[in-house]
Amino acid sequence: MVVGKIKTLILGAGGMLGMDLQAVFPEAISLTHAELDITDKNAVFSIIDRLRPELVINDGASKLEGERAIVNAMNRYYIVRTSWLFGLHGANLVNTMLKLGTANHVVRVVNDQFGKPTYTKDLAQKIPEILDCDYGIYHITNEGVCSWYEFASAIIPNAVPCTSKEYIRRAKRPEYSVLVNTKTRPMRHWKDALVEYMEVRKT
């Protein structure tokens, strides 16, 4: 599918991924959460009815219930599952670690939760490839599995490991949230993506 040939609407365009999606879909109509509340059903239907987009990309925090609603409501959809996002346009672990690493002698980071860090720029650039594939659910992440501690250690030199029991959080995190991509070509390793991110972040 040729990007720019189809009328595209990006919802949540002001978010970390939404900003990178705008670079991939420069001709798209882009609306932030402030401009359109996606929890307002009537407002969403009104916008879609008025604009008549051929493709709608929603960067809201869609969880399992949202996925089920999409699957039950339509046949032509792409659901992209990803993990541990970092990017230039919002708060993320990389920026948090850089701040904590500067402000503290050591930074404790859990070493028993594993996933795949994903650069929003790489994820956004992957969307056009998915649009040429069959409808369905896709797992899209950068390659490479690591713990939060291993990820943090690639960002700052003073990260130290701890267990989840030692670092209590209000929201319980899964110990193993590794997504396997079997439907599209693999993306680059998260370490390579992080190197680029750190270089671009400096400019």
Residue showing tokens 């997504």: 179
* Average pLDDT score over residue span 161-188: 83
Q: Residue 143: which CATH number?
A: 3.40.50.720
Looking at residue 70, its pLDDT comes to: 86
Averaged confidence pLDDT in the chain? 90
Longest dimension (CA), the chain: 55
Looking at residue 60, its pLDDT comes to: 74
pLDDT band per the 50, 70, 90 thresholds, residue 1: low
In a domain, 113, yes or no: yes
pLDDT band per the 50, 70, 90 thresholds, residue 59: confident
* Average pLDDT score over residue span 189-193: 98
Looking at residue 168, its pLDDT comes to: 65
Q: Examine the pLDDT at 91 and tell me if it is beyond 70.
A: yes
User: Which tokens go with 69?
Assistant: 């609603």
In a domain, 169, yes or no: yes
Residue showing tokens 């690639």: 154
* pLDDT digits 0-9 by tens, 106-155: 999 999 999 999 999 999 999 999 999 999 999 999 999 999 999 999 99
pLDDT band per the 50, 70, 90 thresholds, residue 65: confident
* Average pLDDT score over residue span 81-96: 92
pTM given for the model: 0.90
In a domain, 191, yes or no: yes
Q: Is the CB of residue 23 less than 8 Å from the CB of residue 2?
A: no
Range of the domain at 185: 62-202
Higher pLDDT, 4 or 69: 69
Q: Which of 26, 20, 19, 12 is nearest to 126 (CA)?
A: 20
In a domain, 23, yes or no: no
In a domain, 134, yes or no: yes
Looking at residue 58, its pLDDT comes to: 87
Helix (H) or strand (E) holding 150: helix 148-153
Give the integer Cα–Cα distance in Å for 128 and 172. Answer: 34
Neighbour count for residue 70 (Cβ, 10 Å): 15
Neighbour count for residue 163 (Cβ, 10 Å): 11
Give the integer Cα–Cα distance in Å for 20 and 124. Answer: 6
Q: Kindly report the backbone phi and psi dihedral angles of residue 49, in degrees, each rounded to the nearest multiple of 5, phi listed first.
A: -65, -35
In a domain, 158, yes or no: yes
Neighbour count for residue 103 (Cβ, 10 Å): 8
- Residues 6 or more apart in contact with residue 2 via CB below 8 angstroms: none
Give the integer Cα–Cα distance in Å for 29 and 160. Answer: 44
Lowest mean pLDDT segment, chosen from 5-9, 64-68, 97-101, 156-160: 64-68
* pLDDT digits 0-9 by tens, 21-54: 999 999 999 999 899 988 888 998 899 999 999 9
Residue showing tokens 């370490």: 191
Calculate the CA 117 to chain-centre distance: 9
In a domain, 125, yes or no: yes
* Average pLDDT score over residue span 160-186: 83
- Which three-class secondary structure string do you get for 26-69? CCCEEECCCCCCCCCHHHHHHHHHHHCCCEEEECCCCCHHHHHH
In a domain, 46, yes or no: no
Domain count across the chain: 1
Q: Examine the pLDDT at 180 and tell me if it is beyond 80.
A: yes
